[in-house]
Amino acid sequence: MDVKRQELTKRNFPSAQEEAQVVAPAERYDGPESAYRLAFTDTDFLLREELRPVRMQLELLKPELVQQQQGIESTIVIFGSARIVPPDVAAQRLADAGNDAVARRAAQMQVQMSRFYEEARRFAAIVTERSRTLDTPIYVVTGGGPGIMEAGNRGAYEKGGKSIGLNIVLPFEQAPNPYITPELCFQFHYFALRKMHFLMRSIALVCFPGGFGTLDEMFEIMTLIQTGKCRRRPILLFGRDFWTRLIDFDLLVDTGMISPGDVRLFRFVETAEEAWEHLVAEYDFATPDGDGKPYADDM
């Protein structure tokens, strides 16, 4: 840009960042009781009860702008329990349980459930690697914590891809897992806005076994699609046995609580390859060999 052009487009006013860096006020007006600070640099002011609408707007806007800057347009959301551990950790806990019957029974269940950690990890790796050939790459999104969330971010990380973590402030959790792309690691105060960001760019929702949090997210998405509040997209439930034991979908249909067609809102899958194959069929993803089939597992 030439000098004359720079003069024509030069800012007429200082930026907010420049104003925020102005030399501190005189000591008399620098105390905590002073109202002299700029409103957007005054944390006490921003945290007032009356400023909740502004804070909600900021929490919606910040992840949106960052993802726009990073060129993220399509995502796949991976939900699941924070309590499911990797197979090696589960195996060690079983070994440590010794002859304690209660501890051994709990550890055996952890070993059984740990297969879902590995499937989530492999599924995220498949999505990350194979979507690179698409016009619009697909990025994995998780809740940012441990367990299945960690597995999702880890699978993307191990394939050299970016992934997103939407963390939430909780009294007993949660530190971000170490596999989230740092510039895409967000922290939320409001559950509702976090849920919005799960859905805003998603082309599919993948639910692994989980507890109240997973059920909350899964049923909210199903309700939004059922009621036409958001577009229909694949919902994949990993582990038919778990989900059908947990939720009697047939009872909901038989008692008229849901319509028979509502059970078509989701699909059961068992493996990472099966889940990817369903997405290939749903969106007609082109694969390098042109046959539309998923690649062989290369992990």
CATH number at residue 194: 3.40.50.450
Structure tokens at 26: 């005189």
Q: Which pairing describes strands 138-142 and 163-168: parallel, antiparallel, or unpaired?
A: parallel
Structure tokens at 185: 């690691």
| Distance in angstroms (rounded) separating the CA atoms of residues 65 and 183 | 12
pLDDT tens digits in sequence order for the chain, 299 residues long: 577 777 778 888 888 888 777 766 667 777 777 788 888 888 889 999 999 999 999 999 999 999 999 999 999 999 999 999 999 999 999 999 999 999 999 999 999 999 999 999 999 999 999 999 898 999 999 999 999 999 999 999 999 999 999 999 988 766 899 999 999 999 999 999 999 999 999 999 999 999 999 999 999 999 999 999 999 999 999 999 999 999 999 999 999 999 999 999 999 999 999 999 999 999 988 654 444 443 334 44
Q: Which pairing describes strands 185-188 and 138-142: parallel, antiparallel, or unpaired?
A: unpaired
State the residue range of the domain holding 70.
Answer: 63-85+115-283
First to last CA, the chain: 48
Number of domains the chain contains = 1
Q: Is residue 29 part of a domain?
A: no
Q: Is residue 298 part of a domain?
A: no
Nearest-Å Rg of the Cα atoms of the chain is 24
Identify the CA nearest to 179 among candidates 205, 201, 152, 198: 152
